[in-house]
Amino acid sequence: MSTIIGAVVQAGTPLYDKKATFEKLADLISDAASQGAKLVVLPEAFIGGYPKGLDFGVRLGSRTPEGRVEFQRYVENAIEVPSADTDQIGKIVQKLDVYLVVGVVERDGGTLYCTSLYFSPDGGMIGKHRKLMPTALERVVWGFGDGSTLAAPKTEIGTLGGAICWENYMPQLRLSMYGKGVEFYCAPTVDDRDVWLPTMQTIALEGRCFVLSACQYMERGYGPEDYHPVQGEADDTVLIRGGSCIISPMGEVLAAPVFGKETILTAEMDKSEIIRGKYDLDVVGHYGRPDIFSLHVNEEPQSTCK
């Protein structure tokens, strides 16, 4: 398939409401598919949620009982992988005949991970990537992924891959993706800053790949009454303002960022642009210098119990 339509979904989680989240997930993917999308990307932590503005009762050297209760609620709305929840996602995808990349909060024992899941049109889960480096306070509620989940599934539309939010600022991770031949670089995020767009353009130019970045749009009212983010209590307080985009292998903005609302952005992506781009820049090929530089990636699973 040389040319496909890609979609980035800019939407927020009905926080701490798994049933409503899955209903919204199905509606959003259906909307994207109705616009011709074959590859659909949803934001970081869409399933499970990103409770922006909470501190989970953390202070240097202490934690509060209330923060532990908040963490318990977060865990209860996370999903195991695989599980009946991932089966449900697979059924949605199969019905709509799309490839899906979606951010989830994954529960594994007593630890949570920020994870991207990859699904094929037959409903099968074809990849899982756990965020390697949670940012700042995220490290309190999320564990660290390892190299065993540097997913880059090869599909009939091309090689998928990518990184989550500020992982995109890790040069070695990006290079490992380029080395796996990523053609559609998927970047779920909650980073709504103006500088996110040039970051995505840099990655597209550097890797000569299409970049699809889906950011949440979230208001305080997406959470329950007892959700108290530091940004404010009014339901229409914007916590994450969006900024999703789709970029071509030459850095052209195919779908420009939209702020301040939920939306679905689509773009036609012609894979021949990847080859034309690599004519003068292939960082893991003719533009590389393996005689000077090398990258070692440990893809072995890491565990304290072996």
Catalytic residues: 44, 131, 165
Contact status, residue 121 vs residue 155, Cβ threshold 8 Å: no
Contact status, residue 125 vs residue 95, Cβ threshold 8 Å: no
Rg (CA), the chain: 19
HEC secondary structure over 62-97: EECHHHHHHHHHHHHCCECCCCHHHHHHHHHHHHHC
Residue 174: strand, helix, or coil: helix
* Cβ neighbourhood burial of 255 (10 Å; 0-12, 13-18, 19+): buried
Q: In 3D, which of 180, 138, 133, 173 has the Cα closest to residue 159?
A: 180
- Fill in the amino acid letter for 242: G
What whole-number distance in Å separates Cα of residue 74 and Cα of residue 156? 36
What whole-number distance in Å separates Cα of residue 118 and Cα of residue 15? 22
Tokens of 273: 């642009």
Place of tokens 């099968």: 124
- Cβ atoms within 10 A of the Cβ of 20, count? 13
DSSP run (H or E) holding 211? strand 210-213
- Fill in the amino acid letter for 39: L
Asked whether the bond before 82 is cis by omega within 30 degrees of 0, the reply is: yes
Measure the CA dihedral 152/155/158/161, to 10°.
-20
